Amino acid sequence: MANNNRKVVLVGTGMVGMSFAYAALNQSLCDELVLIDLNEVRAKGEAMDLNHGLAFSNSSMKIYFGNYSDCSDAEIVIICAGVAQKPDETRLHLLQRNTKVFEAIVPRVVSSGFDGIFLVATNPVDIMTRVTYELSGFNAAKVIGTGTTLDTARLRYLLGTYFEIDPRHIHAYVIGEHGDSEFVPWSQAIIAVKHINEMLAAYPDRYRMEDLEQITQNVRHAAYEIIKAKGSTYYGIGMAICRIVRAIFSNENSVFTCSVRLRGEYGLRKDVFIGNPCIINSSGANRILELSLTEEELEQLKSSYQILDENFLSIF
Ligand SMILES: NC(=O)c1ccc[n+]([C@@H]2O[C@H](COP(=O)([O-])OP(=O)(O)OC[C@H]3O[C@@H](n4cnc5c(N)ncnc54)[C@H](O)[C@@H]3O)[C@@H](O)[C@H]2O)c1
C-alpha cells in the first residue's frame, strides 16, 4: 500500500454502490471514501446523507463527492456503475451496455495516475473484470472481480441452515461464472471437520445429495428470486465488497472466490477471469488456489470458462 491513508473511490452510487458505502461507514472500513457517478446530483446527495450519519458512527471517515482526479492516490477503486438486471434478464444480457459504461470509466481512472487495485462488481462481473483488465493494462493481480463471492456466501448460509452449523465453519465454494453456469464442486466441501460425503454416509436418513443439489439450484436462482421480489439485490453484495476491501487493507491472505485471471490452472491457458478460490492481500489477488476437481467438475468449469470467453470475444 502506498500510504497509511486508506482511500477508496467508489464509481457508481446506485443500490449496490451505496449498500457498500453504508456498510463501509458502519464498519469504519477506510479513512476516505470518494463517490463518483454519472448522475452527479445523486452522488452529491448520497455523500450528504452518509455524512449526516457520521455523528452516530464510530468512524471519522472523510466522505465526499468527487471526480476521477481523486483516484490518483486511492488504494482501491470499486466499480459498481452500469445497468442492473431486470426480471427475466440474465447477467450476460448486460454485457454490451456495461462495456460502454466501462469504456467511459476505466481510462479516466488510469489517466489520473491511479496505481492501486480495481475491484469490480458490475455484471456480468467476470467479463467486466476482464474488460477492466484489458482497458487498464494493469497487472492481473490488481484487477479483481467479486466473482462468486456472494454466491459462496449464499451457499454457506444455506448449508449452515441445513446442517445446523455456523456458516463460518462451512468450507464449500461456488465457482465458475457468476451466473447460470456456476456450480458447487461438492468433492471439495468440508462441513466443520468432516468431508460432506462422510456427513451423507453417516446420516443417510437426515442428509441427502438431492437436498444439496436443490441448495445449488437455490443459490443459482437467488438473484432472480430477489429481483422478482424487490427489483434488485444489493445488501449481500455490499457486504461482500466490504469484506474483500478489508482483506486488502489488512493484508489478510483471506480466501474468497473472486473473479481472477487464470494462468494455466486446470489446464485452461487463456486469460479468462472466472470465480475461483484465491488469496486476497494488499497486493490484490496474486495466488490462485487450484482445486482438485473431479472429471465431471472440471467439465463444468470448462463449460463456464467457455461461456465467459465466447461472450467476451463477442464484444469486439
Ligand atoms: N457482483 C455481484 O454479485 C452483483 C450483485 C448485485 C448487483 N450487481 C451489479 O451491480 C451493478 C449495479 O447495480 P445497481 O443495482 O447498483 O444499479 P443502479 O442502477 O442502482 O446503479 C447504477 C449506477 O451506475 C451509474 N452509472 C451508469 N453509467 C455510469 C457512468 N458511465 N459513469 C459513472 N456512473 C455511471 C448510474 O448513474 C447509477 O447510479 C449492476 O450491473 C448489477 O447487475 C452485481
Q: What angle do CA 262, 305, 237 make, to 5 degrees?
A: 80
Nearest CA to ligand 1 atom 31: 101
Exposed (0-12), middle (13-18) or buried (19+): which is 73, by Cβ within 10 Å?
middle
Q: Which residues pair with 195 in a beta bridge?
A: 190
Q: Which residues of the chain have pLDDT under 50?
A: 1-2
Q: What is the model's pLDDT at position 2?
A: 46
Mutate to test the pocket of ligand 1, among 13, 19, 38 (most ligand atoms within 8 A of CB): 38
Closest ligand 1 atom number to CA of residue 149: 3
Give the whole-angstrom CA distance, residue 142 versus residue 76: 9
Q: Whose CA is nearest to atom 2 of ligand 1?
A: 121
Q: How far is the CA of 234 from the centre of ligand 1 (A)?
A: 10
Cα distances (angstroms) measured from residue 265 to each of 45, 257, 272, 291, 298: 45, 15, 11, 9, 11
7-145 shares its CATH topology with 149-313:
no
CATH number among 1.10.287.3510, 3.30.70.260, 3.10.20.600, 3.40.50.720, domain 7-145: 3.40.50.720
User: Tens digit of pLDDT for each residue in 191-217?
Assistant: 999 999 999 999 999 999 999 999 999
In a 10 Å sphere around its CB, with 0-12 CB exposed, 13-18 middle and 19+ buried, how is residue 233 labelled? Answer: buried
Show me where the domains of the chain are located: 7-145, 149-313
pLDDT tens digits along 10-29? 999 999 999 999 999 999 99
Which among 123, 127, 237 is the best mutation to test ligand 1's pocket, defined by most ligand atoms within 8 Å of the CB?
123
Architecture of domain 149-313: Alpha-Beta Complex (3.90)
Q: 3-state DSSP call for residue 161?
A: helix
Q: Find where cell 460425503 sits.
A: 197
Q: Order of strands, edge to edge, in the sheet holding 62-65?
A: 62-65, 32-36, 7-11, 76-79, 117-120, 143-145, 259-261, 273-275
Which of the residues are catalytic? Answer: 178
- The confidence score (pLDDT) of residue 72 equals 98
The C-alpha cell 466490504 sits at 242
Q: Which residue minimizes the CA distance to atom 1 of ligand 1?
A: 121
DSSP classification of residue 274: E
